[in-house]
């Protein structure tokens, strides 16, 4: 229920909104996601706003979702711990 | 010409897309914008993707644009130097 699968510009994506108590906590989480992205050479959209981070995974090369996006989504969730 | 003024959910916003040669440069810029936001106690949307950062300013309290958003937009541009 945490991840949704919106279609944007015809591209199926995997998206989750993570909520935080303030900007600094959200910012720290967004940097963890960015570190993961660089480590895995797969880069999502990371939208940082006050108290929340929206992470969007999809695979550019196929304009849609690949098995790897689901793996990255699971790894993103693990960053919360 | 660099900033556009989209309306989202009825809220007029100020938005600019900054392009970079890779993820790391985009990431570094997004952190500079986050630092500025914390310093000024005014928080935009900062969307980090591979090679680009989309910054969106608006004032939650008035559901639209305040003079301060234009000042923040100018300060965001200065972070490029």
Q: Is the pLDDT of residue A77 over 80?
A: yes
Chain A residue numbers with beta carbons less than 8 Å from the beta carbon of B37 are 23
Nearest to residue B8, comparing CAs of B71, B57, B50, B48?
A: B57
Model pLDDT, residue A29: 98
Nearest to residue A54, comparing CAs of A67, A39, A8?
A: A8
Q: Is the pLDDT of residue A81 over 80?
A: no
- Report how far residue A49's alpha carbon sits from residue A30's, in angstroms, rounded to the nearest whole number: 10
Model pLDDT, residue B1: 64
Model pLDDT, residue A57: 98
Q: Chain A contact for B38, CB < 8 A?
A: yes
ipTM confidence: 0.95
Model pLDDT, residue A1: 64
Q: Chain A contact for B48, CB < 8 A?
A: yes
List, edge to edge, every strand of the sheet that includes B52-57.
A14-19, A52-57, A45-49, B45-49, B52-57, B14-19
Model pLDDT, residue B11: 96
CB A50 within 8 A of CB A61: no
CATH architecture of B7-65: 2-Layer Sandwich (3.30)
Q: Is the pLDDT of residue A42 over 90?
A: yes
CB A4 within 8 A of CB A51: no
CB B13 within 8 A of CB B35: no
CATH architecture of A7-78: 2-Layer Sandwich (3.30)
CB contact under 8 A, A48 and B27: no
Model pLDDT, residue B81: 75
Query: Which residue ranges make up each domain of chain B?
Result: 7-65
Nearest to residue B77, comparing CAs of B5, B13, B14?
A: B14
One digit per residue, the tens of pLDDT, for chain B of length 81 reads: 699 999 999 999 999 999 999 999 999 999 999 999 999 999 999 999 999 999 999 999 999 999 999 999 999 999 997
Q: Chain B contact for A59, CB < 8 A?
A: no
- Report how far residue A6's alpha carbon sits from residue B41's, in angstroms, rounded to the nearest whole number: 32
């Amino acid at each position: 229920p945490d991840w949704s699968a919106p279609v944007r510009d015809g591209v199926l994506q995997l998206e989750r909104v993570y909520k935080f108590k303030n900007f600094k906590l959200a910012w720290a989480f967004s940097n963890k996601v960015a570190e993961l992205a660089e480590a895995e050479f797969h880069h999502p959209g990371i939208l940082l706003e006050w108290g929340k981070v929206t992470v969007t995974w999809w695979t550019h090369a196929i304009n849609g979702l690949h098995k790897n996006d689901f793996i990255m989504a699971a790894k993103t969730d693990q960053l919360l711990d």
